């Protein structure tokens, strides 16, 4: 029966990773299209440069969300293998309090935060990840 749980956890992880990649690809495409719209409507080189910079930020953010989802999916799979309940990880990096910026936790992985939780960007902006798979601490 344990091998069945492991197989199911592997399938769930793979499906979650495919979904994260699809969402990331869609976000990157939206960023590219928006850049093209902004380039056409730009009146000067500075606005064109801003449009290009904004696209870069959006594609980077989409890639970060994808990587966070992959890490979450891998942790959920490992939790199942270790005898935990699938999808019910602690949701918090070791030593990292809710609302802390990336990499400011005491110990634990640098640059990670629970999916679906509020985070603080390096520029001081706060927001949520946009994934509905996280817990409820906002």
- What pLDDT, in 10s, does the model give residues 71-120? 999 999 898 888 765 455 444 444 444 444 444 444 444 444 445 545 45
pLDDT computed for residue 69 by the predictor: 96
Nearest to 62 by CA among 93, 20, 101, 120: 20
pLDDT computed for residue 63 by the predictor: 97
Confidence of residue 127 (pLDDT cuts 50, 70, 90): low
pTM of the model: 0.57
Q: How many domains does the chain have?
A: 1
Confidence of residue 123 (pLDDT cuts 50, 70, 90): low
Quick check: is 136 in a domain?
no
Q: Which domain holds residue 72?
A: 2-128
Quick check: is 85 in a domain?
yes
Rounded distance between C-alpha atoms, residue 49 and residue 61, angstroms: 18
Rounded distance between C-alpha atoms, residue 48 and residue 59, angstroms: 17
Rounded distance between C-alpha atoms, residue 34 and residue 26, angstroms: 12
Quick check: is 134 in a domain?
no
């Amino acid at each position: 029966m344990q091998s069945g749980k492991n197989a199911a956890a592997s399938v769930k992880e793979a499906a979650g990773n495919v979904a994260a990649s699809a969402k990331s690809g869609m976000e990157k495409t939206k960023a590219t299209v928006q850049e093209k719209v902004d380039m056409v409507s730009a009146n000067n080189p500075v606005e064109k440069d801003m449009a290009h910079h904004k696209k870069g930020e959006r594609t980077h953010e989409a890639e970060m969300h994808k990587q966070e989802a992959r890490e979450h999916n891998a942790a959920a799979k490992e939790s199942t293998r270790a005898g935990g309940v699938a999808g019910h990880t602690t949701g918090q990096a070791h030593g990292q309090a809710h609302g802390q910026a990336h990499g400011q936790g005491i110990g634990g992985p640098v640059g990670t935060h629970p999916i679906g939780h509020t985070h603080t960007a390096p520029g001081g902006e706060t927001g949520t990840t946009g994934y509905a798979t996280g817990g409820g601490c906002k």
